[in-house]
Amino acid sequence: MKVGLIGTGRMGQAIVLRLIEKGHSVGVWNRTFSKLEAPVSAGARRAETPARLAEESDALIVILTNAEAQKAVYSTPKSGLLAADLESKLVIDMSTVRPEASIALAALVSAKGGLFVESPVGGTTGPAREGKLFAFVGAEPSAFLSAEPLLLELCRRVEHVGSVGAGSSLKLAVNLPLLVFWQAFGEALSLVSHLNLPPERLIDILSDTPGASGAFKARSAQFVSRLQGQPAFKASFNLFSIRKDLQTMKAEAEGLGASLPVVNAAIEAYTKAIEAGLEDADSIEQSLFWKARMGSKG
């Protein structure tokens, strides 16, 4: 299949490699051309515009930072996706955005004859590279059936949870406890720093408790390494992106008339780390940043 991918950030690049490995002919486009170098070196072809990529592809995967980026990619006159003939084209959008953004895009793509599938995914670059993501799909049944074979090559689990909008709602809910965990764990570390336990023993104890998330257990060796003073790891999900997702949750909650006090506090905590220069740091650095602040009143 000819698959076009728009958005070659960390996740997009990992997905491109997976698609090539599965035998697809892959085209790519990204607003920042430097992020196309690795995919092109791996065998992907570079398209000049999103519209051109759509014309050259049977299916499109879009994975962008936010709704503003989506608007630019889809709606830019003459070069955006919607400028192309989308008749019977499959458009799978994996961006983490508010449901209303996905619903609006679905209407625009459908009006052009395309099949729109909302499919934000759970997982970072490692699972993306290995085809072990978790897809939360919102789509009409016929569109989902068209997308399912491709999604199964990228994901360990694919859940069709309703019409467009439902996938985004579920993705935000899934991300909430994970993203606030890194801050909560940093606060936990600040309570035991004075014990001076060896890092490997401390992390072993904390990981063998009901409060330890699966993500933390998977990263326990990295925590030990960092607590031992080893260099930071390359980010698989950076603090800037985490705060963006938390802000999206906050906006969605406000639209629903719901209150998210823990999310609001987490946004403030992540902002402090970002202001300290950690916007591109990995998620575990939030925990270590807060531990290092022990005794600070700000």
Task: Tell me the per-residue pLDDT of 200-209, one tens digit each, with 9 for 90 and over.
Answer: 999 999 999 9
The confidence score (pLDDT) of residue 234 equals: 93
Residue 270 in tokens = 């992540």
Q: Is residue 298 part of a domain?
A: no
Residue 264 in tokens = 């609001």
Assess whether 52 and 189 both reside in one domain: no
Contact 117, 92 (CB under 8 A): yes
Assess whether 57 and 205 both reside in one domain: no
Task: Tell me the per-residue pLDDT of 223-243, one tens digit each, with 9 for 90 and over.
Answer: 999 999 999 999 989 999 999
Q: What are phi and psi of 2, to 5 degrees?
A: -85, 110
What is the full DSSP assignment across 80-116? SGGGS--TT-EEEE-----HHHHHHHHHHHHHTT-EE
Assess whether 144 and 187 both reside in one domain: no
- Residue where a domain terminates, one of 112, 145, 164: 164
Q: Is residue 297 part of a domain?
A: no
Which residues are bridge partners to 122 per DSSP? 134
Assess whether 135 and 263 both reside in one domain: no
Domain count for the chain: 2
CA distance 178 to 285: 14
Residue 141 in tokens = 């049944």
| Number of Cβ atoms within 10 Å of the Cβ of 40 | 15
Domain, as residue range, for 152 = 2-164
Assess whether 66 and 209 both reside in one domain: no
CA distance 168 to 192: 37
Assess whether 140 and 16 both reside in one domain: yes
Assess whether 113 and 232 both reside in one domain: no
Task: Tell me the per-residue pLDDT of 151-192, one tens digit each, with 9 for 90 and over.
Answer: 999 999 999 999 999 999 999 999 999 999 999 999 999 999
Predicted model pTM: 0.93
DSSP 196: -
Assess whether 157 and 285 both reside in one domain: no
Assess whether 160 and 226 both reside in one domain: no
CA-to-CA separations, 227 to 159, 191, 201, in angstroms, rounded: 37, 15, 11
- Residue where a domain terminates, one of 133, 149, 164: 164
Task: Tell me the per-residue pLDDT of 15-70, one tens digit each, with 9 for 90 and over.
Answer: 999 999 999 999 999 999 999 999 999 999 999 999 999 999 999 999 999 999 99
The confidence score (pLDDT) of residue 296 equals: 52
- Residue where a domain terminates, one of 164, 196, 214: 164
CATH of residue 123's domain is 3.40.50.720
CATH of residue 261's domain is 1.10.1040.10
Assess whether 118 and 40 both reside in one domain: yes
